Amino acid sequence: MVGFFLFTACADKPLKVINAECGSSVSINGTISNNSLTYTFKPCTHCRSLKDICNYIYFQGDTLCFSIQCNQDIESATITAYFENPVTHSTYKAERIEKMKKTVYGFSLVGSLLETIFWKDINTNNFSKTVKHPFVIHVTIEKQNHKVHHTLSDTLYIQFAE
C-alpha cells in the first residue's frame, strides 16, 4: 500500500519549467549550442526588393532556436510553440518542435520570421547595416492534467557586412 501511495504522489507532481533559453543553434540533445542572436550576412548584390532579401536570408538556413527543460519526462506531452513580434503582435508557428525526455526544443528560420512577423517592421524601416527585432517565443506543454505556458523574450540582430 505504501508503494502505491508513493507512485500516486509522484505521478501527480506539477509540471514545471526548470530552464529555458534561446539562441541561433541547438544541439542534437536539445540544448542551445550557440546563444548568439546576432546574424551576419554578406550584402546581397542581386537583391532588388525586400522579398529578395528575405529569400536570400531564408536560404542561408539560419535559425532562431529555443530549448526548455522540465522537471519530468514530456515525451508524451502535446507541445505548441510560436514566435511573436511584441510590437505588431504578429505570430508564426515554430517550424520544428522536438521532444527528448525532459526537454522540448525547436526553431524557425530567420528568413521565415522576417517574411511573416517582422514584415511590417522591415517594410516600414527597410534594412540598414544592423536591424534589431524584439521577439517573444511562446511554448505550451500539456501532459495529462498539467499545462505549462512559458515565454522567452529577447532581441535578434541582423547585420550586413563583408
At 91, the amino acid letter reads: T
The structure's pTM equals 0.87
CA distance 159 to 145: 44
Looking up residue 45, the CATH number of its domain turns out to be 2.60.40
144 within a domain of the structure (yes/no)? yes
83 within a domain of the structure (yes/no)? yes
Question: Over the stretch 88-114, which tens digit does the pLDDT of each residue have?
Answer: 999 999 999 999 999 999 999 999 999
9 within a domain of the structure (yes/no)? no
154 within a domain of the structure (yes/no)? yes
CA distance 104 to 69: 7
8 within a domain of the structure (yes/no)? no
At residue 127, the pLDDT reads 64
5 within a domain of the structure (yes/no)? no
Q: Is the pLDDT of residue 2 over 70?
A: no
Structural domain range at position 117:
14-160
102 within a domain of the structure (yes/no)? yes
- Taking alpha carbons only, the member of 129, 135, 136 closest to residue 158 is 129
106 within a domain of the structure (yes/no)? yes
* DSSP letter assigned to residue 126: -
Quick one: 102 exposed, middle or buried, by C-beta within 10 A (0-12, 13-18, 19+)?
A: middle
* DSSP letter assigned to residue 7: H
Element (H, E) at 98: strand 96-100
Grid coordinates representing 8?
A: 500516486
123 SS3 class: helix
Question: Over the stretch 16-26, which tens digit does the pLDDT of each residue have?
Answer: 999 999 999 99
CA distance 50 to 123: 7
Q: Please count the structural domains in the chain.
A: 1
